[in-house]
Chain A
Amino acid sequence: MSNLMNGARILLECLAREGVDCFFGYPGGVTLPFYDALYDHSIKHVLVRHEENACFAASGYARATGKVGVCCATSGPGATNLVTGLVDSLMDSIPVVAITGQVTSKLIGSDAFQEADTFGITRSCTKHNYMVKTVAELPQIIHEAFYLAASGRPGPVLVDIPKDIFQAQGHYTPVDQIHLRGYRVTTDGHTGQIRRAAQMIWEAERPIVYAGGGIIAANAEAELKDFVERADVPAVCTLMGLGGLGSGHPNFISMPGMHGSYAANMALSGCDLLIALGVRFDDRVTGRLAAFAPHARVIHVDIDPAEISKNRQADIPIVGDAKRVLQKLNRVVAELEPQMRAKSAPGRRAWWKQIREWKDQHPYDSPRSDSEIKPQHLMAEIDRLSGGEAIVATDVGQHQMWAAQLVRFNHPRLWINSGGLGAMGFGLPAAIGAQFARPDKLVFAIVGDGGFQMSIPELGTIASNGLPIKIVVMNNGYLGMVRQWQELFYNNRLSSVQLDCFPDAEKLAGAYGFRGSTVENPRELAGALEAMVREPGPYLLNVRVTPFENVYPMVPAGGAINEMVLSAPVAAAQ
């Protein structure tokens, strides 16, 4: 029979069946049989320069498309290198399947060379994980892994495969059914609850939508737009939800939270109805929980029942997929509109007026200088070049917050960053994944000088694949976000935050065979960015910015979100 093949080949057949066109990985001893099978298979394998980046790239691929991202690592050190990437995907609910090699079955437990308890180590880093025991169960497990990763609340799933399973011969018959008895997903949302919610929405005077990553995961942008328009409700999008409602939409206020806008935080604090859609009331959004939206009743829609009433008690809990729930909700909202709209109009007019005032009183800071490039100036220029259409992957730190504030996104899946875990080193490899997923798109990687130096090895991946990624290093010479906290809360005792050596960008990029440059004159910034975007290949632009700029507004840790520090006290500026 021609369907007799080894486990490695079976794995590839399963990946192909799941529609995997490319994946990210790094080979090693126990995955040799797998890489041998890959040698003449059509699926593209991208050789990254570190396994952590394989997982970040898979995550970037998944974030840019909604498809499952796949990464692969060898046993022992390869597998342990995946851990940060897995937790990042877990925290942000990103569908990723990780394949790891394991030592040969009969050596497991013997402290064999490059043996690590991957199954044990990654249990709490994944939505679910598997260790394959026989080649016969391999197809079943692979398809279960993909199903689990992508369905319900998405997340990373790891499959650990001993070397002998890759080598064992088995009859491959495509699996067409999987059975996960204990895995229940409620998608539709309870009709009665949705009806009550619609009623409450029309009755509210000061409603607000608090939309998060769940909108993106559910591809619910059209439904969200319909909803805010029909129900006449303003919306804030969290860091994970940016692009869920286009930044240019009149109902979009901006991002809430620790570095959110004045208007967004005031609106959340003043609302009488909080319509929480695919959010988890993260502390970076809520600030002091007891003071968060203190006058509001709460409608909470989430596909994960455990998120509902976890941090904030919901008055109307709705377990379901954001898209499906919004579809139903929109129908009921429309049904009630004729009898409710006129009644709710005066209250809403006052609410909108108030929100516009808040917006006008304190828009985001965007200082300019003739002598130095202000970080905000840089983000505004990138925003201009993107026009809300480019993919922007960032690293973690001040640059991430300024980008979130000042770069606009007309669509979901353009804004890519490590929200929940806040993992430095994420930005560049995530941009690689996104560029592979969307070769048609202009992709910016906006990274700090700190985070960039965690990912420099991936310049090799970019160069060897000719990825036209536009790498913008916002170089403030510091671990800026940590420096900001030391300045504000530790008497400006700057401890181990200065990055006093940064490689020459032109030489560094040149060493990899592509172009790079440094810009520090604000008058040359626009030109430098334009030249970068015109470059057909990759480009590394090192932008020297004001070192001591702080991100505002800022809600100090543990504070209520309406108690923002809006800008630097004049005397404190260095």
Chain B
Amino acid sequence: MLQVISVLLENKPGALMRVTGLLTARGYNIESLTVARTLDPDLSRMSIVVDVEERLRSQVIKQMNKLVNVLQATDLTDCPAVCREMTLLRVRAPLEKRATIIKEAEIFGARVVDSSVDGFVIEATGDSEKLDEFLDVMQSYGDIDVTRSGAIAVSLELRKLRLQPPIHLAASLAETEEEETNGVLNG
């Protein structure tokens, strides 16, 4: 089933590959992936939608949290979260259909962002199912060209982020705080 994962990671060379490599090494197919810098320019936030067997979902999260560059990997699949996707599409719009297309787009909250004699470029956002419907409708006006962003997701709950404090090389392993865990750290 599709799992939605949010990953906070260091913005370092190779970090993205470590996360995706973990999924591909296990043969999982990535449905979508988005990544961009956070307010802290040293960090990036990734949203991943991936097809993972139900019972392996927590294993995937644990493995991601083990990656040195990953600060926090969270499974948002069954959590209160908002998921959004954006699409840009080009639709051919002969004169007689233009008004209907615009009206239809309005129903979905989409906007025309460019118009030419050939047609429109339309921008729409929403959850993925809504976008699917919108694209279905647009297809009924003829061939369309579609680019989708992939889902981005945000948890509605504030999650505690535990980070490793600096380590003094002379001292041995830092003491760690106590926590009840089934192995999912920072999940």
**Would you call B63 an interface residue if the criterion is a C-beta within 8 Å of the partner chain's C-beta atoms?**
yes
Stretch of A228-236, A304-312, A395-403, A543-551 lying at the B interface: A304-312
List which A134-173 residues lie within 8 A (CB) of chain B: 143, 147-148, 151
In the complex, residue of chain B having the shortest beta-carbon distance to the beta carbon of A175: B169
Scan B12-45; emit 1 where CB is below 8 A from any A CB, else 0. 0110011001000100000000000000000000
Of B166, B168, B182, chain A has the most CB atoms within 10 Å of the CB of: B182
Chain B residues with Cβ under 8 A from A181's Cβ?
Answer: 10, 71, 163-164
- Assess whether B68 is in contact with A183, with CB atoms less than 8 Å apart: yes
CA distance A123 to B66 in the complex (A): 14
* Interface membership of A124, Cβ < 8 A: yes
Provide the residues of chain B in CB contact with A120, threshold 8 Å: 14, 17
A182–B173 contact, CB under 8 A?
no
Tell me whether B69 is interfacial, beta carbon within 8 Å.
yes
Whether B109 sits at the interface, judged by CB under 8 Å, is no
Rounded to whole angstroms, the CA-CA distance of A67 and B153 in the bound complex is 43
**Chain A residues in 8 Å Cβ range of B72:** 182
Bound-complex Cα distance A119 to B169 (A): 25
Which of B10, B13, B18, B185 is close to A186, meaning CB atoms less than 8 Å apart? B185
B residues in contact with A309, CB < 8 Å: 58, 182-183
Point out the residue from B25, B67, B70, B184 that lies within 8 Å of A305, measured CB to CB: B184
On whether the beta carbons of B59 and A182 are closer than 8 Å, the reply is no
Produce 1/0 per residue, A171-211, CB < 8 A to B.
00001111111111111101111000000000000000000
Residues on B with C-beta less than 8 A from A119 are 13-14
- Is the CB of A561 closer than 8 A to any CB of chain B? no
| Chain A interface size range | 35 or more
Is A177 a contact partner of B186 (Cβ separation < 8 A)?
Answer: no
Chain A residue numbers with a CB within 8 Å of B63 are 306
B25 contacts A177, C-beta separation under 8 Å: no
Residues of A within 8 A of B165 (CB): 179
Contacts of B14 in A (CB 8 A): 119-120, 123, 129, 131
In the complex, which range does the number of interface residues on chain B fall in? 35 or more
Taking a contact as CB atoms under 8 Å apart, the answer to whether A177 and B184 are in contact is no
Contact residue among A128, A187, A306 (Cβ-Cβ distance under 8 Å from B183): A306
Q: Give Cα distance in the complex from A188 to B67, angstroms.
A: 21
Q: Contact at B167–A180, with CB atoms within 8 Å? A: yes
Determine whether the beta carbon of B169 is less than 8 Å from that of A143.
yes
In the complex where A304-B66, A306-B59 touch, is A182 in contact with B181 (Cβ < 8 A)? no
A319 within 8 A of B: yes
Question: Given that A176-B170, A177-B167 are contacting pairs, would A184 and B13 also be in contact in the complex, using a CB cutoff of 8 Å?
Answer: no
Q: Which residues of A contact B178 (CB under 8 A)?
A: 188, 190-191
CA gap between A120 and B18 in the complex, in Å: 10
Could you say which residues of chain A place their CB within 8 Å of the CB of B175? 187-188
Contacts of B46 in A (CB 8 A): none
Alpha-carbon distance A61/B124, docked complex (angstroms): 60
Point out the residues of chain B lying under 8 angstroms from A188, CB to CB.
175-176, 178
B93 at the interface (CB under 8 A from A): no
Q: Complex Cα distance A182/B58, Å?
A: 18
Would B169 and A178 count as touching, CB distance under 8 A?
A: yes
**A179 CA / B164 CA spacing, docked (Å):** 7
**CB-contact partner of A148 in B58, B62, B68, under 8 A:** B68
Across-interface contacts of B58 in A (CB, < 8 A): 309
Determine if B96 is an interface residue (Cβ-Cβ < 8 Å). no
Closest CB in chain B relative to A327 CB, distance in Å: 14
B179 close to chain A: CB less than 8 A: yes
List residues 108-122 of chain A with CB under 8 A from any CB of chain B.
Answer: 119-120
B-contact 0/1 string along A301-329, CB 8 Å cutoff? 00011111110001001010100000000
Of all chain B residues, the one with the shortest Cβ separation from A174 is B169
Within the complex, the shortest CB–CB distance from A34 to chain B, in Å, comes to 22
Q: B21, B25, B173: which has the most chain A beta carbons within 10 Å? A: B173
* B65 at the A interface (CB under 8 A): yes
Q: In the complex the two chains form, what is the Cα distance from A305 to B67 in whole Å?
A: 12
Chain A nearest Cβ from B141, distance in angstroms: 45
CB atoms of B164 and A306 under 8 A apart: no
Question: B169 is contacted by which of A147, A184, A193, A307 (Cβ under 8 Å)?
Answer: A147
Roughly how many angstroms separate A496 CA and B163 CA in the complex, as a whole number? Answer: 54
A184 to B181, Cβ gap below 8 A?
Answer: no
Find out whether the CB atom of B13 lies under 8 angstroms from the CB atom of A131: yes
Chain A residues with CB under 8 Å of B25's CB are 124
B185 contacts A305, CB within 8 Å?
Answer: yes
State A508–B58 Cα separation when bound (angstroms): 54
Which residues from A are CB-within-8-Å of B49? none
Contact (Cβ within 8 A) A185 B183: no
Selected contact of B164 from candidates A123, A182, A190, CB within 8 Å: A182
Q: Which residues of B contact A127 (CB under 8 A)?
A: 68
- Chain B nearest CB from A480 CB (Å) reads 32
Interface assignment of B180: CB less than 8 Å from any CB of chain A: yes
CA distance A127 to B67 in the complex (A): 8
How many whole Å from A260's CB to the nearest CB in chain B?
26
A526 to nearest B CB, angstroms? 46
A131 to B166, CA, bound (A): 22
Task: Look across to chain A and name the residue whose beta carbon is closest to the beta carbon of B69.
Answer: A182
Task: Quote the shortest CB–CB distance from B28 to chain A (angstroms).
Answer: 14
Q: Does B9 contact A (CB under 8 A)?
A: yes
Within 8 A of A (CB), among B140-187: 162-170, 173-176, 178-186
By the criterion CB–CB under 8 Å, are B166 and A185 in contact?
no
Which of A123, A124, A182, A185 meets B71, CB within 8 Å? A182
Contact B17 A319 (CB under 8 A): no
Nearest Cβ on chain B to A129's Cβ, whole angstroms: 8
| Inter-chain contact A187/B176, CB cutoff 8 Å | yes
> A321 to B174, alpha carbons, bound, how many Å?
12
Tell me whether A192 and B179 are in contact (CB under 8 A): no
Residues in B whose Cβ lies below 8 Å from that of A185: 164, 173-174, 176
Complex Cα distance A365/B66, Å? 43
Residue of B with least CB distance to A310: B59
Chain B nearest Cβ from A311, distance in angstroms: 10
Cβ-neighbour of A176 out of B21, B65, B169 (below 8 A): B169
Residues of A near any B CB (own CB < 8 A) = 119-120, 123-124, 127-129, 131, 143, 147-148, 151, 175-188, 190-193, 304-310, 314, 317, 319, 321
Besides A181-B164, A191-B178, A309-B182, 4 more A-B contacts (Cβ < 8 Å) are: A128-B68, A147-B167, A187-B176, A306-B62
16 examples of A-B residue contacts, CB within 8 angstroms: A120-B17, A123-B14, A123-B17, A123-B21, A124-B25, A131-B14, A179-B165, A181-B164, A182-B68, A182-B70, A187-B173, A192-B180, A193-B180, A305-B185, A307-B183, A309-B182
